Amino acid sequence: MRNLVLVLKKELYRVFSDRKLIISLFVIPAVLMFALYSLIGTLAKSMNSDIESHVSKTVIVNATETLNNAIDESGFKEGSNITWLSDAEYTEKKADIENMVLNGELDLVVVLQKDFDDVFKAYKGQGDQIPNIDIAFNSTENYSQQAYSVFSNTLNVYRTMLLSQRIGNLEQLTVFNQTEKEIVKESKAGTQFISMMLPYMIMIMLFSGAMSISVDAFAGEKERGTLASMLVAPIKRTDIAMGKVVALAIIAALSSIVYAVSMIVSISTMGGNLSDMGSGFGTVHFDILQIVELGLMLIVLDYFFVVFIAVLSSFAKDTKSASTFVTPAYMVVLVAAMMTMFQTGAKNSITKYAIPLYGNAIAIQDITTGEISSVNYLVSLGVTVAISAVLTVVLAKIFDSDKLMFNA
Amino acid sequence: MISVNNLTKVYKLNARKMKELKTTENTKIAVNNLSFESRPGEIYGLLGPNGAGKTTTLRCIATILKPTEGSVKVNGFDTVTEGEKVRGSIAFLTNEIKLDAHFTTDYMFKFFGRIHGMTEEQIEKRRKELFTRFDIYDFAGKKIEELSTGMKQRAAIAVTLVHDPEVVVFDEPTSGLDILTARTVTDYLKELKEAGKTVVVSTHIMSEAEKLCDRIGIIINGKKVAEGSLSEIYEQTGTNDLEDAFFELYKANGGETK
């Protein structure tokens, strides 16, 4: 135990006395996160305001008096530059106009049937002709899309006006009133987005934090011959293994805390910028139990990742081959974490929690929604602890193997 | 006291190595049934060409390789079953095992002193002795990566000897050193011998073996072909020069001289 602590301290000192490492582990991620999210926020904001402030170019053919009223009433005119065309003009330029929509030079084309009002007024009952409005827009152009959705309002107003002309009292058409009441668990309210993203984020951050330092601490030290200096010292292999792994797990944890904090700070300083982009981005309230459950799970997962990477790296001949071993493992973690994003509400069977990585990811997800059962939690935690213990022993065995450590 | 008993170490070769060595066999016998004993108060030298099995033998003594057959005992402890006790009583010096260059010599010295279970006073006392002896004080606080090759070597020697071990195993003690540092090292090995320590070195330099070693074991292709003091070896081979003696033995044991 004494030697374990000595190794642990040395490994921690090694990282914290290295300015370059500190910058790459703690400073750069924070700055990058902040810069990235600020950039996303600013760009999203300017894109939204640009679309909203854009004056759309609209062509309206055969406008009726009522349509003009509807356009005035719905306020469509303010954001739009409307060209009024007669049927003859339109027929002449039809091909040109469609081409302009295709190229994004024109946002919206609204064509009313030539004798729209006559046809509308002539309607008496079933089987009679119904007047037609053709609308053309380009769904791949943001401006066009926006013009279309704004004009839909105008059409609704127009429809209502025509209906009241035809039948007078619109209440006849209202067959029922509708009131809505949302019933949600408080712990789940507004957390859909977070509970979807959190397991993914946590696992990626922890793993990549562990990866950047652990490959060098094992494969690198083996390559440089510095690990050997520990192996000829009178110290148990398990002490070297655990000392190193615990130290690296602490550093990986700190690194991911920096990531997480800078991400949260960045997102919250972005403030409203994202509010109209994603729903379910509400505030999350964790109670003490949730925090403890989540914290414990993260500590165990952190150790598991480091010891897992350590085993792969120690098995490898040098850092280069260690990276080729670790990369597929990273992919597996990615996939396991991503699978939680496509969960339906169905309850998971207990065996799923026993699957390493995937089980951890769904457990983390359940913790954030406050839905985890203690049995499922303990299964997931227990399996991870057990595997980590086995991997620690394997790591010590690798240290003891002359074939793997000294290429014998 | 080191006793090597019928030590055999067989390496398994992978396809790439087999190609490198131009062989179709998938094993290589690095050390073949080797036995010798090294006693306190003497310097025992393993002399042989590159690839003879010297380093493998020393690594078996240092517990980092496990014998395929036979056994090695250091101060009565078996290197396989009592590895930790063996590691506690020896110092193993080699070019391939390095100190982490990120740390200072001071830090490494203290770290390994503590690993060996020494008290802070013991470490400080030993630090004074060794840092003075190897002229380390000037650069003890510098990171090892900033040191010259000679300084690094001296730092490594001091750190490895922190616990004042009974047994010192030194693989190619002067290789890569300038003449001044080499002299400091060989002088110190003689001092260790005077102090009653067991010292084993490996070398392929005849003059070094002549000057340094009390007894020499000559290894060729993993086998011991001669052993004894210089005069005993001269007698066995009918020569009066270690180089001539070596070539006689080399020819007699199937080696081709070009």
Nearest to A406 among B65, B88, B101 (CB): B65
- List phi, psi (to 5°) of A246: -65, -45
pLDDT at A188: 60
Inform me whether the pLDDT recorded for A276 exceeds 80.
Answer: no
Res. A190: pLDDT tops 60: no
CATH 3.40.1710 location in chain A: 55-170
Per residue in B128-167, pLDDT (tens digit) is 999 999 999 999 999 999 999 888 988 999 999 999 999 9
| Cα angle, residue A326 at apex, residues A339 and B14 outer, rounded to 5° | 135
Q: How high is the pLDDT of residue A198?
A: 77
pLDDT grade for A134, boundaries at 50, 70 and 90? very high
Quote the tokens at residue B137.
């004080």
Residue A263: the pLDDT is: 76
Please tell me the predicted confidence (pLDDT) of residue B227: 92
Share the mean pLDDT of chain A. Answer: 86
State the DSSP H helix or E strand holding residue A73, giving kind and residue range, or none if neither: helix A65-74
> For position A77, what pLDDT does the model report?
84
Average pLDDT over residues B177-181: 85
> pLDDT of A82-127, one tens digit each?
999 998 899 898 889 999 999 889 999 999 998 898 888 888 888 8
User: Binning pLDDT at 50, 70 and 90, where does residue B256 land?
Assistant: low
Burial of A173 (0-12, 13-18, 19+ CB in 10 A): exposed
Contact yes or no for B201/B55 (Cβ under 8 A): no
Cβ distance A136 to A108 under 8 Å?
Answer: yes
Q: pLDDT of A5-57, one tens digit each?
A: 999 999 999 999 988 889 988 888 888 878 887 888 788 888 888 888 888 89
Query: What's the confidence (pLDDT) of residue A187?
Result: 58
Distance separating alpha carbons of residues B95 and B29, to the nearest angstrom: 23
- B219 falls within a domain: yes
Q: What is the pTM of this model?
A: 0.80
Are residues A3 and B115 in contact, defined by beta-carbon separation less than 8 angstroms?
A: yes
Kindly list the residues from chain A whose CB atom is less than 8 angstroms away from the CB atom of residue B112.
Answer: 233
* Secondary-structure class of domain A55-170 per CATH: alpha beta
Mean pLDDT of A351-356: 90
Asked if A18 is an interface residue toward chain B (Cβ–Cβ < 8 A), one would say: yes
Smallest Cα distance from B235 to chain A, Å: 37
Per-residue DSSP letter, A349: P
Q: Does A232 touch chain B (CB under 8 A)?
A: yes
Is residue B208 assigned to a domain?
yes
Identify the CATH number of the domain in which residue B97 sits. 3.40.50.300
Q: Is B16 exposed, middle or buried (0-12, 13-18, 19+ CB in 10 A)?
A: exposed
Q: E strands along chain B, which residues?
A: 2-12, 27-38, 42-47, 69-74, 77-78, 90-93, 167-171, 198-203, 215-220, 223-228
pLDDT at A283 over 70: no
What is the three-class DSSP state of A141?
coil
Number of domains observed in the structure of chain B = 1
Q: Do the interacting molecules here have an ipTM over 0.90?
A: no
Residue B257 lies in a domain: no
Rounded Cα distance between B40 and B166, Å, is 8
pLDDT for res A277 = 44
Instruction: Kindly identify which residue of chain B lies nearest to residue A230, measuring between CA atoms.
Output: B112
- Mean local confidence (pLDDT), A124-147: 89
For the CA atoms of A34, A36, A40, A46, what is the dihedral angle to 10 degrees? 80
For residue A281 the two structure tokens come to 């981005």
Give the model's pLDDT for residue B128.
Answer: 95
Q: From chain B, pick out residues whose CB is under 8 angstroms from the CB of A6.
A: 111, 114-115
Work out the pLDDT band at A58, boundaries 50, 70, 90: very high
Most A CBs within 10 A among B14, B20, B66, B97, hence the mutation to make, goes to B97
| Residue B258 counted as domain residue | no
- Tokens coding B49: 């060409």
pLDDT (average), residues A206-218: 89
Does B226 map to a domain? yes
The reported pLDDT for the residue numbered A107 is 92
pLDDT band at residue A166 using 50, 70 and 90 as cut-offs = confident
Distance in angstroms (rounded) separating the CA atoms of residues B106 and B144: 10
Give A271 or A141, the one with higher predicted confidence.
A141
Identify all chain A residues contacting B66, using CB atoms and an 8 Å cutoff. Answer: 402
Say which DSSP state A189 is in: T
At position B173, the amino acid (one-letter code) is P
Domain, as residue range, for B246: 2-252
* The amino acid at A92: E
Whether A274 has a pLDDT exceeding 60, the answer reads no
Round the average pLDDT of chain B to a whole number and report it.
90
Question: For residues A186 and B257, which has the higher predicted lDDT (pLDDT)?
Answer: A186
pLDDT beyond 90 at A365: no
H or E element that contains A82: strand A80-85
